[in-house]
Amino acid sequence: MPPASAPPASRGTSRAGYRLLPAPVAAPARLVADAAQRQVIEHAGGPLLVLAGPGTGKTATLVESVAARVEAGADPRSILVLTFSRRAAAELRERITARLGPAGGGRGPGAWTFHAWCLALLRAHDRPAPSGGFRLLSGPEQDARLRELIDGSREDGRPAWPPALARCLGTRGFTEEVRALLARAREVGLEPVGLAQLARRTARPEWSALAEFYEMYLDVFGFEGALDYADLVHRAAAVAGGAEAADALRTRYRHVFVDEYQDTDPAQERLLRALAGGGGDLVAFGDPDQSIYAFRGAEVAGLLDFPQRFPTADGRPAPIVALRTCRRMAPAPLLASRQVARRLPAAGLPVPALRAHRDLTGRADLGDGLVEARTYPSAGAEAEAVADLLRREHLERGTPWRAMAVLVRTAERIGRLRRALVAAGVPVSVDGDDLPVAQEPAAALLLLALRCADDPAGALTADAARTLLTSPLGGADPAGVRELGRALRAFDRDGGAIQPAASAELVRDAVADPDRLLLRVPDEVARPARRVGGLLRAGRRALRDPDGTPEQALWELWSASGWQERLVAASAGGGAAGRAADRDLDAVVALFDAVARLAQRRGRGAGAALLVDELGRQQIAAESIAPVGEDARRGGVRLLTAHRSKGLEWDVVAVCGVQDGAWPDLRERHSLLGAEELDAPARGGLRPPLTRQDLLADERRLFYVALTRARRRVLVTAVDSPDEDGSRPSRLLEELGVPVEAVLGRPPRPLTLVALVATLRRLATEPTSSPALRGAARRRLAALAAARDDAGRPLAPAAHPRTWWGLLEVTTSDVPVVAPDAPLRLSGSSLSSIGACSLRWFLEHEAHAVTVSSTAQGFGKVVHALADEVTTGRTPADLAALDARLDTVWRHLDYEARWRSEQERGAAREALARFLDWHAAERGRRVAGAEVSFTARLTVAGRDVLLRGFIDRLELDGEGRVHVIDFKTGRTAPSRAELAVHPQLGSYQLAVRAGALDSALDSALAAARTPDGTPAGPGGAQPAEPGGAELVQLRLDTGGDNRAPRLPGEAPGPPQVQAQEPLPATGETWMDQAIGEAVRVVDAEAFRPTPGDQCPVCTFQASCPARPEGRQVVE
């Protein structure tokens, strides 16, 4: 079946059976021309410049001028209309065809974009390339071919690139610089020989190399028949001016009309001179005040000098006609635009013509209109205020959504504004031209998955794996990813790894090969990784299939994920979630269209990497992401850049982000290769650099274009931050000629259903509200709670009291934290945590709301591991050996700053030096174990308790008593009073007394003898008993000032050692009391906050009712 854009096929009586008929177009109303328009329409022939300001009926005048030629007897095929966008060309074709009706003979004059007409010209008149016909390259395709040529030139040594460019030759930025310079050379008609001469004249070695590369580029592309956009127009101009085609073209095209002439570049001007120079019938419509595409090579001088560059047949300057009546704007917006326009330079135009061009009359039927300039204290307040204004325009004045627009200077500002508009319930339409499809989150996610499926070794990095796992494709949350990483590290450690790989890398490997690495991971933890790994495997199978394509692989990723069903369900649910789902669905549809189109153009040989790269590098999208849901039926507010707004108009326009330094952007436009310096050979090949005045004029023209899109109301906004170094509004606000209002607060209650419900809830529950007011609010809430949409869903579920957080009863769980018949598992650190703050213990140990291990914890783990290696003899007790060992593991610690890593690396070396000092000291004891785990079974307060832990080091004295050693790497030490009841040391001693370490100590105790020669320990005459416990502070010197910085070369002293008295061999101790208190807290589930010194470093402050930020909002 024909594509949707094709004209309908109609059955005819011809032998072919079918013939194509143009789609019917409604006949437009005949133009009621004013005097200036009649002058243009009745122009007898020859060159004519028509100055057409915003809304002056330029297009209608052009259409009538074409119709006048046809009605005067001209062949419609002898009329050529050229413009700059496909949209404008299509609109002109339709309007001309409708205007001509039967007079056009069913075939109106051709309305083309410059590039489309140039390509048709070359195919008709130029010699085809040796490899076939002509092919127009897209920007990404051209970049890819340029990179190949640049890489080849590096290998061949031709051209000889200057040494100063050596480091950037392989970069994407250099390729873009080369493309810009070649395009500029083509625009101004500078051939390789001319560029080489210019390089010698200016002593620019990079231009000399580029001249040689330029020639090679033309040879290769010429052989392939490949054309970039600049070369296309250049070659078309050469063909049109050549002996073979010039006469034929002038004979065929006797009447040439050009729309938006201010946007022409030198190459397009050469083309027009070849077609209609020397007094030919060339009518150019343009506005010097709307010349905003200088960055694409457009030169406003072409319009300003048009009368001299295209003189009449008798050598006089071409006449100028200015359209005087603005049919778009109300008086107030028109006056504001005049205030800006009068500051724009227009040197070259006669003063009377310029005055007539800018002295416009506006529409009286729209009333006075409104122009507002406002500043806000923050970008968030600005976005909210704009959203509020649009909603009020729609709800209070009845302005359709589609009759309003928000314009910004650059696309970077679109995201924040779109979020604010969507949050306020404003339907938004963002042009794909302003947000390429690959930048849409949904499309970007699928493209990432496609690249990872195609190249798991290169593309599936740790960051990519995390992104996929926490996306809708994987369904995991960050806590789930951390839990998966911990499980994988534990299995890596159990497998004998001295230093397990980083959890991020293990997670990445699990996604790449889930069958191998996830066998021992619990299913609920491994499920997201299995899901993502399965999707990537399905995509990889589709890509490896001999008949497979990237489009099919993309479909496998999309269809197998279940994401589509979830989005469709969310879309049907409406609200903010529904609008977000609509946007994602629209983006996915546009993505499949774009991939199919690229694959068709590149052929079946195009791999997934090339297609993803092309889409990812698009700065202007190939496909518009138009909403297809409810917003499409009723139209949404357009959100786009000022450049993209050219030629469009709305009732209400908000021009946002008019900030100093951003609009106008007066930064100097310098490039590495100096493309902006090239000019036409006739002008010496060089043009002077742009001055600040030139840049300001360009920026002011863009601002003028944005202002003149509004028919009735225009709002210009900026941020005026209260911070000393914050954002400031642009000078352009002052140029509007209206007072600038500083809005200091947030907007009043938005006109949204959510805001209405919130206000009613506050009034219904606020004690200060009168009974009558509370009653009225409650009745309205009841009405809203009962309201349903067409599908029977609640319109305002938050209006019902059952959803109000403050009215709900506090819930209790039917399942206890620890079952009464199950043993309570505790450790020394748990006892410390419960004693310090039982709420924190619950959140960490039972709710598992732990945060990622900090670098401080990593520091301690590394030092402990190396101390264990020395204790067990795996590493010599030598500082140099430990220092070398430290180097092998330090890179796994992820410090944010290099200086911090180096500082802590030195501190770790000092800690190990203190350890060796302590290790070598004579204490009358010998090592009995290192990194010893234990489980002690106790009965406390009638409750079974399992006391677990790891002891850094065990030592035996001559009497067989067990001394417990715990290494610390913190910066502070407990006080003497705190040490006496230190729960961690106490739990270790209690484990010794309970016999939990007997099996680990058997061999060591068997060798120890009591004074009477009896073996000590289990099985001996005397049971093992605690000999005390010690904290060895490896970061702290004994007796020194540990706060003072160490002098260079100063060695650390012995570590500070803090001893705890031995627990009594029998009877109840303070440790039994501490465990009893912990049992009482856990069984009663009395997890309450305990404010103290630990609060400032606690990670749960936002969940703690003892902290202001953690209190419930209904307290």
The annotated binding site is made up of: 52-59
Amino acid found at 119: L
Compute the average pLDDT of residues 821-831.
87
Amino acid found at 745: G
Q: List Cα–Cα distances, 255 to 84, 119, 234, 506, 1045, in angstroms.
A: 18, 20, 22, 70, 86
Residue 1048: band (very low, low, confident or very high) from pLDDT cuts 50, 70, 90 = low
Render pLDDT for 427-459 as a digit per residue (tens, 0 to 9): 888 865 455 666 678 888 888 888 888 888 888
User: Which pLDDT score, from 0 to 100, does residue 67 have?
Assistant: 92
Q: When comparing pLDDT for 1015 and 716, which is higher?
A: 716
Residue 601: band (very low, low, confident or very high) from pLDDT cuts 50, 70, 90 = low
Report DSSP state, residue 163. Answer: G
The helix or strand, by DSSP H or E, that contains position 742, with its residue range, turns out to be: strand 740-742
Q: Which of 133-147, 159-173, 909-923 has the lowest average pLDDT?
A: 133-147
Residue 318: band (very low, low, confident or very high) from pLDDT cuts 50, 70, 90 = very high
Report how far residue 24's alpha carbon sits from residue 22's, in angstroms, rounded to the nearest whole number.
6
Using the predicted structure, report yes or no on whether residue 13 has a pLDDT greater than 60. Answer: no
Using the predicted structure, report yes or no on whether residue 19 has a pLDDT greater than 70. Answer: no
Q: When comparing pLDDT for 894 and 155, which is higher?
A: 155
Report how far residue 993's alpha carbon sits from residue 490's, in angstroms, rounded to the nearest whole number.
30
Report how far residue 421's alpha carbon sits from residue 404's, in angstroms, rounded to the nearest whole number.
12
Render pLDDT for 148-161 as a digit per residue (tens, 0 to 9): 888 888 888 888 89
Q: What is the signed CA dihedral for 265, 269, 275, 281, rounded to 10 degrees?
A: 110
Query: In sequence order, which residues have a C-beta less than 8 Å from that of residue 508 and are 6 or more positions away?
Result: 460, 461, 462, 464, 465
In whole numbers, what is the pLDDT of the chain averaged over residues?
Answer: 83
Q: Six-digit token pair at 641? A: 């850049």
Contact at 8 Å (CB) between 660 and 728? Answer: yes
Render pLDDT for 207-246 as a digit per residue (tens, 0 to 9): 999 999 999 988 888 888 888 888 889 989 998 888 778 8
Report how far residue 580's alpha carbon sits from residue 570's, in angstroms, rounded to the nearest whole number.
8
- Of 794, 677, 799, 665, residue with least CA distance to 732: 665
User: Which pLDDT score, from 0 to 100, does residue 1047 have?
Assistant: 58
* Most distant CA pair in the chain, distance: 134
Q: Which of 677-681, 693-697, 721-725, 893-897 has the lowest average pLDDT?
A: 893-897
The helix or strand, by DSSP H or E, that contains position 966, with its residue range, turns out to be: strand 962-968
Residue 809: band (very low, low, confident or very high) from pLDDT cuts 50, 70, 90 = confident
Amino acid found at 1061: E
Residue 791: band (very low, low, confident or very high) from pLDDT cuts 50, 70, 90 = confident
Reported pTM: 0.68
Contact at 8 Å (CB) between 211 and 202? Answer: no
Using the predicted structure, report yes or no on whether residue 296 has a pLDDT greater than 50. Answer: yes
Q: Six-digit token pair at 401? A: 């959504």
Using the predicted structure, report yes or no on whether residue 134 has a pLDDT greater than 80. Answer: no
Q: Six-digit token pair at 826? A: 């505790």
Amino acid found at 255: H
Render pLDDT for 368-377 as a digit per residue (tens, 0 to 9): 999 999 999 9
Contact at 8 Å (CB) between 592 and 551? Answer: yes
Helices and strands, number each (H, E), in the chain: 41, 23
Residue 405: band (very low, low, confident or very high) from pLDDT cuts 50, 70, 90 = very high
Contact at 8 Å (CB) between 729 and 719? Answer: yes
User: Which pLDDT score, from 0 to 100, does residue 627 have?
Assistant: 42
Q: Six-digit token pair at 383? A: 């976005």
The annotated binding site for ATP is made up of: 52-59
- Of 59, 25, 229, residue with least CA distance to 140: 229
∠ CA 805-808-809, nearest 5°, is: 140
Report how far residue 391's alpha carbon sits from residue 384's, in angstroms, rounded to the nearest whole number.
11
User: Which pLDDT score, from 0 to 100, does residue 851 have?
Assistant: 60
Report how far residue 917's alpha carbon sits from residue 923's, in angstroms, rounded to the nearest whole number.
12
**Residues above pLDDT 70, as percent of the chain:** 86
Q: Six-digit token pair at 828? A: 């020394």
Contact at 8 Å (CB) between 454 and 552? Answer: no
User: Which pLDDT score, from 0 to 100, does residue 567 have?
Assistant: 84
Render pLDDT for 1059-1103 as a digit per residue (tens, 0 to 9): 999 998 888 889 989 999 999 998 888 888 999 888 888 888 888
Render pLDDT for 946-992 as a digit per residue (tens, 0 to 9): 998 889 999 998 888 999 999 999 888 999 999 999 999 999 999 99
Q: Which residues of 668-683 are buried (b: 16+ CB within 10 A; e: fewer)?
A: eeeebbbbbbbbbeee
Contact at 8 Å (CB) between 657 and 425? Answer: no
Render pLDDT for 183-211 as a digit per residue (tens, 0 to 9): 999 988 889 999 999 999 999 999 999 99
**Residues above pLDDT 90, as percent of the chain:** 32
Using the predicted structure, report yes or no on whether residue 1050 has a pLDDT greater than 90. Answer: no
Using the predicted structure, report yes or no on whether residue 682 has a pLDDT greater than 90. Answer: no
